[in-house]
Amino acid sequence: MDTVITPERIELPPGAVLKLLGGWKDYQVLSQQLGDRSSPRIKYRRGEILLMTPLTQHGRDASLLADIARILLDHLNRIYESFTPITMSLPEISGIEPDFCFYIENCRAVVGKKRIDWESDPPPDLAIEIDVTSYTDVNDFLPYRVPEVWILKSNRLLIYRLQGESYVLTESSYFPNVREIVQQCLQMANEQTTSEVIKWLKNFLHGQQ
């Protein structure tokens, strides 16, 4: 497949990342053109627009990582709201589409909401991104002040927490040993189905009680 960017069509081959110079209005035009399509993904940073077409691995890993987060939250008896797909945007500043977002501490603030106002509503407590094509940058979450960001890159879970005005690599504030759990699940997913991995995790956590 060739790359095509016209007023009528936007087509990128799988795994492609395209960077365009453009402003907020250009980003809005392209976003409206894409509509509810899940691909390509679109991101806005000041002065530039990025388009990316996810690979199959991206979708599988995103689903698995989100399932792990849900199972751990349920295991800890935490209430939460999760969103995907979701577009976070601040006019003239940023537009991003994380793979999954979880509201944990602030879940009551978004119950029943059809639309989130990123200028007045609280940010998600946890955002999850799968980076297969070097499209993801943790600093994209800074304008929203998301407290914790997980980025899965090269089969390694990177956990960032917001400290002051920057993100630092550290441990999760919600899940002890989550990196080891994710690593084990990813290794198992190379030879087993996602459902088998999830079943193993539930049994493993049950045995820890």
Percent of the chain exceeding pLDDT 70 equals 92
Rounded to the nearest angstrom, the gap between the alpha carbon of residue 204 and the centroid of all alpha carbons in its chain is 26
pLDDT grade, residue 207 (50/70/90)?
Answer: confident
Over range 29-45, report the average pLDDT.
Answer: 82
The pLDDT value given to residue 148: 97
Which residues is 169 bridged to in the sheet? 160
The pLDDT value given to residue 154: 85
Is residue 176's pLDDT more than 90? Answer: no
Is the pTM here over 0.85, yes or no?
Answer: yes
CA distances from 165 to 59, 142, 144, 171, 204 (A): 31, 8, 11, 18, 37
pLDDT grade, residue 85 (50/70/90)?
Answer: confident
Q: What is the 3-state secondary structure of 83-147? A: ECCCCEEECCCEEECCCEEEECCCHHHHCCCCCCCCCCCCCCCEEEEEECCCCCCHHHHHHHCCC
Is residue 169's pLDDT more than 90? Answer: yes
Over range 40-65, report the average pLDDT.
Answer: 86
Residues in the chain: 209
Over range 22-39, report the average pLDDT.
Answer: 84
Delineate the domains of the chain, giving CATH numbers in brackets. 1-53 (no CATH), 55-207 (3.90.1570)
The pLDDT value given to residue 16: 77
Over range 167-192, report the average pLDDT.
Answer: 92
Among 35-49, 76-90, 104-118, the least confident range: 35-49
Is residue 142's pLDDT more than 60? Answer: yes
Among 83-92, 149-158, 200-209, the least confident range: 200-209
Over range 121-131, report the average pLDDT.
Answer: 93
